[in-house]
Amino acid sequence: HCGYVAIVGRPNVGKSTLLNHILGQKLSITSRKPQTTRDQILGVKTEGHIQAIYVDTPGLHLGETKAINRFMNKTASAALKDVDVILFVVDANRWTEEDESVLEKVKYARCPVVLVANKVDQIENKDDILPRLANLSERMNFSQIVPISALRNKNLDRLEHLVEGY
């Protein structure tokens, strides 16, 4: 089995952190500043017969007035065309207009989309999270919803196993 996995989401949700943990090495750049990842990062993970190729897309951005944002949107959208599964990463604690625009794009993907609710280590009020996730899954058909903490390494095993099944 060999697959392309695209990691998409607005800046700062933890895409690069997730990729770094999955690959077990510092391949992509993480930072507090949004938009650190300017290019697609390709990572290959081989485990037995399974080879998964991860593409860490730059966030899909609003504000397409700037040329750089236009370029990054193009790159991110192009990355969605050839993938076997999309990991749509969101911050479990915060939903923004930018998440909204990413949702609008992944909605039309032809491959399965897994909603990855990251930063669960920062959750203060669980009661806020569940209705939001329920609401999201009413708006599009996610193949799975997986809560994780990329930083604290929570539930990443489950996510990896799941991804390798696509």
Binding-site residue set for GTP: 9-16, 56-60, 118-121
Q: Is 61 in the site for ligand GDP (CB under 6 A)?
A: no
Residue 80, phi then psi, degrees to nearest 5: -80, -15
50 binds, among Mg ion, ligand GDP, none (CB under 5 to 8 A by kind): none
Q: Is 101 in the site for ligand GDP (CB under 6 A)?
A: no
**Which of 37, 73 has the CB closer to ligand GDP?**
37
Rounded least distance, CB 118 to Mg ion, Å: 12
Q: Is 149 in the site for Mg ion (CB under 5 A)?
A: no
Q: Is 153 in the site for ligand GDP (CB under 6 A)?
A: no
Q: Is 37 in the site for Mg ion (CB under 5 A)?
A: yes
Residues composing the chain: 166
x-marked contacts with Mg ion along 7-36 as a string, rule CB under 5 A: --------xx--------------------
- Of 69-77, 118-126, 127-135, 157-165, the segment contacting ligand GDP by CB under 6 A is 118-126
Cα 15 from Cα 29, distance rounded (Å): 10
Contacting residues toward ligand GDP, per CB under 6 A: 9, 11-17, 30-32, 34, 36-37, 118-119, 121-122, 149-152
